[in-house]
Amino acid sequence: MIHWRDYFKSDLLAGLVVFLVAVPLCLGIALASGVPLFSGLIAGIIGGILVGYLSQSQVSVSGPAAGLVAIVLAGVASIGTLEGFFLAVFLAGFIQLILSLVKAGGIAYYFPSNVIKGMLTAIGIIIIMKQLPHFIGYDKDYEGDLSFFEKEGHNTISSMLDALSHIHFGVAIAGMISLLAMFFWDKLKPANLKLIPGALVSVVVGLLCNELFKLTGIQEFIIKPEHLVQLPIIQSFTELSGSIIFPDFGMITSPKVWTVAFTLGLVASIETLLTLEATDKLDPLRRVSPTNRELFAQGIGNIFSGLIGGLPITSVIVRSSANINSGGRFKTSTIFHGVLLLIGGLFLARFLNYIPLTALAAILLITGFKLANPKIFIEFIKKSPFEYLPFFVTVVSIVFTDLLTGIAIGTGVSICSLLMANIKNVSFFSREKVNNETYLSIVLSEEVSFLNKAAIRLVLDRIKEGTKVIIDASKSFYIDSDVREIIQEFVEIKAKERNIEVLLKGFKSSYGLENTYDQTINEY
C-alpha cells in the first residue's frame, strides 16, 4: 500500500514548483480583481495550508481563481466597500458548508467524461495561448487570466498577435533557454538527481540568464522589473497588519452582500467540483476524491479567507496540473506550497522578485502541452461522433468563452448526443429459425422511451412485404406506452395489409400485447 512518506521528498519539490507558479497567479488575479495584492496571497496561503489539510483530495491545489474575477469586480462595485465584499466571501464559505451537508457534491458525477476531458484539453490550449505573450515579454494581460475576452477590447488571439510586435529579446532568450533546460532535464537528468523537477531547473536557469545579461551590460537584454515577479515587500509588523482588511459585519443584513455571497458560494463550488473531477483523471495513482468533503474544506477556507481579507478560494486546475506534472502525489505538496507562500510573502519577497516571469511561463507551457497533447485529439477522432462531438465542442467553447460557459455548452451537446445515440440504438436485427422458417428478429433495447417513437416507426415501415418478423422485448425492462401503441397498430393493421407475419416475444402482461411467439412454438 502506498503511503505519503514514500513520496515525501518529491512532494516537497513539487510544492516548491507550485509555489513559484502560484506567486504570479495569486498577484495577477488580485490585480485583475481590483483588490490589494496581499488579498491574493492570503487566498493562496489559506488554500494551500488550511484547505490542503482539510481536503481529502491528494493532488488538487486551491487558491484564488481567475474564473471568479468578473464576480469579484462586480461584487466590490455592487457592495461599495472591500470590507463588505470580504463579508460576502465569509458568508459564501458557510453556504458551501451547507452544500456539503446536503450532499450537493454528488453533482460532479453527472458531468460526462468526454466533457471533463474536453475541459482539461481546453485549459491546456488556453495556458499555451495565454503564456506565449509572457514568454516573450508582453505582460499586458494579468497572470492567471483564462477568459478569451480581455480588458480594453482585447482577446486572447489579439494579445498573441500584439505580442509579436513587442518582443523583449532578453525575456525571449531567457524563456527559450529555460524551456529547453526543463525539457532536456526531464529527459536526461541523472539518476541521483531524479527527484529534482525540470520546472525548478527552469526557474534557476531563467534567473541565471538575467544575471548574466546584467553582467554583459547590454540594456536591451536586461529583464526589467515589470517582467519579473512583483511580490509586495512587507517591511514591518505594522505594515503587515495594515495590509489585512477585516469584513464589516455591520453589513450582514445588506441584500447586496447576500446576493454576492450566494453567487460566490455557488460558482466557486461548481468550479471546485469540475476541477476535482478533472484532477482525479490526471492523478497517476487513480484515486477518487470525496466531493462533499471538498465542499466542506473549501467552505472553511473561504470563511477564514473572508475573515482576514482574502479573495474567494476554489480548487484550481492550472496549479493542480502543475503539481501533478512536477511529481506531487500527496497533499504534502499542496500544504508545503501554502507554507512557502506564507514564508515567501512575509520574508523572501525581495529575493523572489528576481525571478523572470518568462521562466514561469516556460513551466506553464509544458503543463499546457501535457494537458492538450495531440494524442488526445487522435484518441477521440477514432471514437463515434456521439463521443467526440461533445469533446470538441467543449474544447472550442471553453477556449472562446470561459470555463463555466464552455462546460454548460459541452454538457448540453453531450446530452443531445446521448439522446441521439439512444434513438439510433433502439433495436438490433438478427435471423432466427422458428418451425424451420426463417424470421427477421427485431430485438428491442433495454429501455424504449417516447424518444424512440420515430425510430421504431421507421424500422417497422421499412419491413418488406411478405416478411416473417419477430419483435423481441425479452431484454427490455421498460417500453413507453406510445411505442406500444405503434407496435400494436403495426401488428393489427399494417402487417396484415402488407402480408407480414408478426410474432411478439417477451412483452410484459401489463403491456396489453399478446406474446404469439410462445404459442407458435407450442403449436409446432
Inside any domain, residue 108: yes
305 and 180 part of one domain: yes
Inside any domain, residue 396: no
173 and 283 part of one domain: yes
The total number of residues shown for the chain amounts to: 524
354 and 473 part of one domain: no
Residues near 266 by beta carbon (within 8 Å), at least 6 away in sequence? 95
Q: What would the mean pLDDT of 95-119 be, rounded to a whole number? A: 91
- pLDDT, position 193: 84
pLDDT(519) > 80: no
- pLDDT, position 520: 63
75 and 209 part of one domain: yes
- pLDDT, position 252: 96
Inside any domain, residue 390: no
312 and 183 part of one domain: yes
Number of domains making up the chain: 2
207 and 288 part of one domain: yes
pLDDT over 70 for what percent of the chain?
A: 97
Amino acid of residue 309: G
pLDDT in tens, 197-253: 999 999 999 999 999 999 988 888 999 999 999 888 888 778 778 789 999 999 999
63 and 176 part of one domain: yes
CA 189 to chain centre: 31
Inside any domain, residue 412: no
pLDDT in tens, 251-295: 999 999 999 999 999 999 999 999 999 999 999 998 999 999 999
19 and 131 part of one domain: yes
Among 372, 394, 418, where does a domain finish?
A: 372
Among 328, 348, 372, where does a domain finish?
A: 372
- pLDDT, position 177: 97
Inside any domain, residue 68: yes
41 and 142 part of one domain: yes
- pLDDT, position 2: 79
How far apart CA 431 and CA 462 sit, in angstroms, is 16
Give me the CATH number covering residue 468.
Answer: 3.30.750.24
Inside any domain, residue 224: yes
CA 97 to chain centre: 22
Of 32-46, 69-83, 342-356, 376-390, give the lowest mean pLDDT range: 376-390
**Residue ranges making up the domain that contains 476:** 426-523
One DSSP character per residue, 37-101 reads HHHHHHHHHHIIIIIHHH---SS-EEEE-GGGHHHHHHHHHHH-SHHHHHHHHHHHHHHHHHHHH
Q: What would the mean pLDDT of 300-326 be, rounded to a whole number? A: 96
Inside any domain, residue 421: no
340 and 431 part of one domain: no
pLDDT(521) > 70: no
- pLDDT, position 324: 95
- pLDDT, position 420: 73
Residue with cell 505519503: 4
How far apart CA 153 and CA 147 sit, in angstroms, is 12
- Please say whether the beta carbons of 354 and 174 come within 8 A: no
Bridge partner residues of 375 (DSSP): none
Among 372, 389, 412, where does a domain finish?
A: 372
* Residue 414 grid coordinates: 453531450
Report pTM.
0.83
Higher pLDDT, 36 or 194: 36
